[in-house]
Structure 1
Amino acid sequence: MPTVNQYVLGAGDDWWGIMNRRARRDGQARCAVRLVWSEDGGRVTAERAWRIENGAWNGEESLIVATSAETFKDEEAQEFLDRRLPRDYLYFFLFDGEQIQELAEANRDVQQRQMERLLGIGAIDALRAALNNAIGRWQHNDLEPQARADLERMEGEARGLEADRTALDVSRANLGHEIENDTDALRRIVRRIEGLSAFVHRHDEVQLRETRARIQAQRAEAMDLLSTRLPRDIVLLVNPSLVTRAMERLNKVLGSDANARARVLESLLDILPARLFDQPDFPTPDIRDSQRAYYRYKLVSVLEQEADAAGETMDPAFGPDPQAASAAREQLAPYTEANALRSVRAEELRRLQGFASELRQLEADLLNVGSLSDEERTRYERFVAERDELQRNLDRKKAQDRDLASQSAGLKGKLDEARKRIEQTRTKLGNNRVIEEKIAIARRLGNLFADLKSSRKQAQRKQLEAAINQHFRILMTSHHLIDRVEVNEDFGLHYLDAEGDHVGMGTLSAGMKQLMATALLWALSEVSGKQFPLVVDTPLARIDLAHQEAILRYYYPNAAAQVIVLPTDAELDARKLRLIAPHVYRAYRLTNPDGEHTIPAPVEVSDLIREG
């Protein structure tokens, strides 16, 4: 997307800017967009204008809305427009038919929020957000200055984390579309390769394909096995000199006189007092218990002093206790002479490379056993190269998606922790009774609004689901890959086949996605009860003939109180025009003979039909 400045002034050859080219050449400085419509109270005119002088824009724009009774400017004018048609609704009522399937593929979170607003549920969220803001403000104003400063810092950190996570999620959504596009492209390339391979002798082809499938399975198994083994000990395998030095230090510690003496003293301390005083044979006459306790205490003290003295003579820079040092030496010992293990790992890597070579050879064999011409063989090799490149890119993007998902999860954890600290600070310091009572009332209201939202969502979800399925069955007449559509609690759409299994978005054709998006728009308009004009450019793009007729017969005559379509002459021929002629209020032909002046001329639909 261009920046605002680029949108106004232009962005190279991609976009020439808002101002008409001829007007700019003539030295004019002001350009504007004007919209006029009728309401019960009379005609309304809205105009947004910019001033561009000497190829520069000062960053200002004016907005004026004039009704029969009064005139609004800038912010008041924008508020007037938002009351008539909130910007969140534009997504569903003003679109390009070439891109309508993006409605079905859109970022789920964004789509669901917009659907909630369109169905009147988003207003409840706005009330809850206002209550939460009020609670935060009351708690904030009740804090001591230093505590307030700490809270502001924590809130700033939370906002930063939230912005970072939102940016990551947007990147993931974009990457998800790229992965789906690459998957579709890879599927097409594979079909082309298989089409060229259809010339081979069937017996040899089947045998080679079985061998290829077996090698692919072995390669996948070897990769899985290596991925589980390699990360655990790779550092020790590739750093034999480091392992050797560590073993030398451990042997030195464990073999030193001080260490040996310390081990002997610790062993004596464990067994000598008990065996000397508590086990037979006892002297005759036996000593008293008090004497036995005294000598036991004295012996233990002497041994402990000697053990401490022995420990003080050990290397202070590297002095683990004997048990830990011994355990470390046992773990490192296999890696001092790990040439065999290194050979095993290297052999596993070579084995993977061998699988790849075998697969390439099998691909060539599949080609050579047939009777492909030189031209077909060249095409085959080009398709294989494209397939391999696509697969590498797809693997890289999937790895990137996993990394982004991990980063997003990490940011979510940090954000949850930051919010928890903020809430704890507010709760701890918000001790004003009046504030607490206001907060308690606001929270009860918030719970009430949450219950209201849940109730309304449940009711409208069922209505929306029924309407989507009804309209989709009307529009989709050629086949039944999708048997029904489910709308979940959060207005997410799930497509199911006749067996109740999920149908993936990537398996749907562009035309089917466009029909699904059309059914969604139709259902939203019907369930919401809102009557806004519907404006569609290229209304029949990417849809086959049978479904074009269904859309013309059933959707556009019922889509809204006012429907404006901008078709090309190739989209609406005489036969299609007859289908919608009874519903057409007014028609125009747009002509642009010199590429710079578009002229709208009124025309009768009957004349268009007669002209073909």
Structure 2
Amino acid sequence: MIIKQLTLENFGIYKGRHEVNLSVNDDQPIILFGGLNGGGKTTFLDALQLVLYGKHAKCSNRGHQSYGSYLTSTKNRYVDEQDKVEISLTFTHTTETTTNEFIVKRSWQTNVKEVKDKVIVYCNSQEDAHLSQYWDEFVNEFIPLSLSDLFFFDGEKIENLAHPDRSADLIKTGIENLLGLDLLTQLHIDLNNVERKRKSENVDITTMEKITVLESEIAEHSTVVATLKKDIADLEKHASETNVNINQSRQKVRSAGAHLIEQRDSIKFELGAIEEKQKVNLAERVKLDAGCGPLGLIPDLINATKLQINKEQQATQAKVIQSAITDYENTIKQTLISENVPQKTLQALENTMGTLAQQRETLANIPCYIDAHIAMFNGLDEKIAADSKERAKLINQRGQLLEQQALYEKKLESIPDYETVQHLLSELAVAEAELKNDLVLIKNKQQLLQQAQARDEVLNTRYANLLTQQNRDTFEQKRSIQVAEHIAKLKSTMQSFAVDLIKENIQLLEQHIKDNFYDLNRKKNLVSNIKICPEEFTITLIDSNNNDMPTSRLSAGERQLLAIAILWGLAEASGKEIPTIIDTPLGRLDGKHRSKLVQNYFPYAGKQVILLSTDEEITGQYYTQLKPSICREYHINFDEQAQTSTFTEGYF
């Protein structure tokens, strides 16, 4: 079964008509929905279950309401009284080589005295009256109601399934439905009734009173057993609700910052350490500024000084050689005159010598006021560059220290006083105590139930023996005895068949659960094996030392992963092509467990996987890891102005 489209009209928070395309590809089985709390994710999941199962649907907020009252409460409060509510689901179902498309429409009006829903089913675009009339029976061919918990579940509440009793019930229900053992159970009950009727037909009058008394006692005891089962179911429901309240209280405590109170002293210590580092940083910067660092601020003045020193050196040299050069030039001129050099040449030479003499005079007249050597600047540029680099490093370090200081100061400011959050901590403590009390009561009730069931078995055995012993020796009597004997043999054969069938399939289920838990859990050496009792269906974990390990040793996140591994294993063992729909998929898991779930479970949970996530679950790296397997993305957002939630393409 693959869902193609869901249509909601005036259902819950969805005002008007909303259509969602849910078709997927073989290599991209995931459809990702994102929405804030209260935006309509759980309503979406309720709609899927309601359109399929009607009055038998396990909707989140129905409680003890009658079906008609619940249908009335699901209508959007902003639409007119005469407007109808309708949910439509389109899906395909393949049997052997044939694939058919079904459309299931469930609608109801609330402006009538007795609210009832109407179901219309279309097969390959043609209305099928027979399917529509008997849909409650036919739906189990597509998704059996008893198996719906394996494929539609809430990630926040799934941890409870890891409890030994809850997991045993889940595995028992799954195994019986997967193997068809529920039919054997019903056949066993029917055979008991036939056997009892056959034997009671041959009871003489003298023992009728004894049998009547025994039947009355059996009936009373059956009432006790039923009452205990109901009490246990109510307590488990209350415990589940209390567990949800505990999670909400923990969130309030975290939102109020109460969990940070214990960190106050460590934060103050960190702030003190940061202040000391800032003092050291300031001292280092002052030390740098006391050296040659300030010279880096006047590079033009330093260059001008170097230039002046060079000019002063040239002036000194000009003064020293001025007289020597003058004598040298006179000697040259006299020599040239004596050699009768042309007058024009002598005149050119005198002009050149005059120009050079004027230049030397200019150099010699340069004022000298520095009187220093250029070597005093050797290495200054390198030193200034090194100091500048060190100063930048210290300034960067100071910026980091200021950021750290601001962060810790913000944390310190966010830590409330104990008096302001005392009521939240008290509320959490009360809820935890209430849950503990519920668990104790459940355990006591279960012990009483075991005793009552044992007593009920004894009474039924006495009843069967009494009927058998009082049969008359007639032809009809013998025939009834023969029928009873054949029934006993048949029951024994069925019991042996069921035991062998369970043992054979439990080994496969053990391997599925073990492999799945190994893929999901980050601690590879935590569990080496998983065993399931074929009689009680309880799970036993085996640690790396080959010793039994109670589930209480697992963390809350590990228990949630174990529950998912159980559901996954049962779903795999079922061999059914059913969509997997998960509300709040990552729950309270830590980062590593979330990565395991994102990488190893969601892409392989089924051929179609619908995830209903908040904005704090599938984000960042988890979204990146999941992206290759995502076929479609939707954002469920509540429009204040239109008073309705809507589906828009794209995730957050």
Equivalent in the alignment of 1:166: 229
Query: TM-score scaled by structure 2?
Result: 0.54
Equivalent in the alignment of 1:355: none
* Deviation digits for residues 306-346 of structure 1 (CA, Å, limit 9, x no counterpart): xxxxxxxxxxxxxxxxxxxxxxxxxxxxxxxxxxxxxxxxx
**Are residues 417 and 509 of structure 1, via their aligned partners in 2, closer, same or farther at CA, if it must alter by over 3 Å?**
same
User: Matches of residues 104-503 of structure 1 in structure 2 within 5 Å?
Assistant: 104-105=162-163, 107-120=166-179, 122-123=181-182, 124-140=184-200, 153=216, 155-170=218-233, 404=445, 407-408=448-449, 411-429=452-470, 432-478=477-523, 480-489=525-534, 490-503=536-549
Kept after mapping to 1: 8 A contact 2:518/2:524:
no
**Are residues 584 and 555 of structure 1, via their aligned partners in 2, closer, same or farther at CA, if it must alter by over 3 Å?**
same
Query: Displacement of 1:487 after TM fit?
Result: 1.8
* Deviation digits for residues 428-486 of structure 1 (CA, Å, limit 9, x no counterpart): 45552222222222222221221111112212221111221212111112564444332
Give the letter for the 2:618 counterpart.
Answer: L
Kept after mapping to 2: 8 A contact 1:115/1:491:
no
Query: TM-score scaled by structure 1?
Result: 0.57
* Deviation digits for residues 350-373 of structure 1 (CA, Å, limit 9, x no counterpart): xxxxxxxxxxxxxxxxxxxxxxxx
Give the letter for the 2:531 counterpart.
Answer: E
2:134 to 71, 76, 81: 76
Kept after mapping to 2: 8 A contact 1:107/1:173:
no
Query: Displacement of 1:535 after TM fit?
Result: 1.0
User: Matches of residues 504-523 of structure 1 in structure 2 within 5 Å?
Assistant: 504-523=550-569
**Are residues 49 and 183 of structure 1, via their aligned partners in 2, closer, same or farther at CA, if it must alter by over 3 Å?**
closer
Asked if residue 21 in structure 1 is aligned to residue 77 in structure 2, the reply is: yes
Equivalent in the alignment of 2:597: 551
In structure 2, distance between residues paired with 1:47 and 1:182: 35
Equivalent in the alignment of 2:647: 600
Aligned positions, number = 419
- SS across alignment from 1:21: coil
In structure 2, distance between residues paired with 1:409 and 1:453: 22
Equivalent in the alignment of 2:104: 46
In structure 2, distance between residues paired with 1:390 and 1:566: 27
In structure 2, distance between residues paired with 1:526 and 1:2: 30
In structure 2, distance between residues paired with 1:498 and 1:140: 57
- SS across alignment from 2:105: strand
Equivalent in the alignment of 1:576: 622
Asked if residue 536 in structure 1 is aligned to residue 585 in structure 2, the reply is: no
* Deviation digits for residues 169-218 of structure 1 (CA, Å, limit 9, x no counterpart): 446656887999999999x9xxx9x979x99xxxxxxxxxxxxxxxxxxx
In structure 1, distance between residues paired with 2:626 and 2:133: 41
Which stretches in structure 1 are left out of the alignment for 5+ residues?
200-374
In structure 2, distance between residues paired with 1:465 and 1:588: 36
Q: Which moved more, 1:500-509 or 1:76-85?
A: 500-509
Give the letter for the 1:546 counterpart.
Answer: K
Kept after mapping to 2: 8 A contact 1:5/1:57:
no
In structure 1, distance between residues paired with 2:537 and 2:178: 11
Kept after mapping to 2: 8 A contact 1:539/1:567:
yes
- SS across alignment from 2:545: coil
Kept after mapping to 2: 8 A contact 1:121/1:456:
no
Query: Displacement of 1:379 after TM fit?
Result: 11
2:89 to 30, 35, 54: 35
* Deviation digits for residues 488-523 of structure 1 (CA, Å, limit 9, x no counterpart): 223311223323444433443222122112222222
Kept after mapping to 1: 8 A contact 2:582/2:612:
yes
Query: Displacement of 1:563 after TM fit?
Result: 1.6
1:586 to 632, 635, 648: 632
**Are residues 574 and 408 of structure 1, via their aligned partners in 2, closer, same or farther at CA, if it must alter by over 3 Å?**
closer
Kept after mapping to 2: 8 A contact 1:483/1:497:
yes
* Deviation digits for residues 392-436 of structure 1 (CA, Å, limit 9, x no counterpart): 879977875676466445534542343234323432455522222
1:86 to 124, 144, 160: 144
In structure 2, distance between residues paired with 1:477 and 1:45: 42
**Are residues 574 and 128 of structure 1, via their aligned partners in 2, closer, same or farther at CA, if it must alter by over 3 Å?**
same
Equivalent in the alignment of 1:527: 573
Which stretches in structure 2 are left out of the alignment for 5+ residues?
1-60, 254-258, 267-415
Kept after mapping to 2: 8 A contact 1:591/1:600:
yes
Query: Displacement of 1:89 after TM fit?
Result: 0.2
In structure 2, distance between residues paired with 1:508 and 1:559: 23
Q: Which moved more, 1:421-430 or 1:376-385?
A: 376-385
Give the letter for the 1:440 counterpart.
Answer: E
Equivalent in the alignment of 2:123: 67
**Are residues 84 and 485 of structure 1, via their aligned partners in 2, closer, same or farther at CA, if it must alter by over 3 Å?**
same
Query: Displacement of 1:163 after TM fit?
Result: 1.0
**Are residues 28 and 138 of structure 1, via their aligned partners in 2, closer, same or farther at CA, if it must alter by over 3 Å?**
farther
Kept after mapping to 1: 8 A contact 2:214/2:459:
no
Q: Percent identity between the aligned chains?
A: 19
In structure 1, distance between residues paired with 2:433 and 2:597: 41
Query: Displacement of 1:41 after TM fit?
Result: 4.5
Kept after mapping to 2: 8 A contact 1:486/1:493:
yes
In structure 1, distance between residues paired with 2:632 and 2:429: 54
* Deviation digits for residues 11-56 of structure 1 (CA, Å, limit 9, x no counterpart): xxxx982212223xx11264343322112452212234444236x6
Query: Displacement of 1:104 after TM fit?
Result: 1.7
* Deviation digits for residues 116-136 of structure 1 (CA, Å, limit 9, x no counterpart): 224315243344334334333
**Are residues 100 and 391 of structure 1, via their aligned partners in 2, closer, same or farther at CA, if it must alter by over 3 Å?**
closer
**Are residues 564 and 182 of structure 1, via their aligned partners in 2, closer, same or farther at CA, if it must alter by over 3 Å?**
closer
In structure 2, distance between residues paired with 1:82 and 1:424: 40
Give the letter for the 1:579 counterpart.
Answer: Q
Give the letter for the 2:69 counterpart.
Answer: L
Kept after mapping to 2: 8 A contact 1:48/1:63:
yes
Give the letter for the 2:587 counterpart.
Answer: A
**Superposition CA RMSD, Å:** 4.5
Give the letter for the 1:447 counterpart.
Answer: S
**Are residues 20 and 133 of structure 1, via their aligned partners in 2, closer, same or farther at CA, if it must alter by over 3 Å?**
farther
In structure 1, distance between residues paired with 2:91 and 2:461: 50
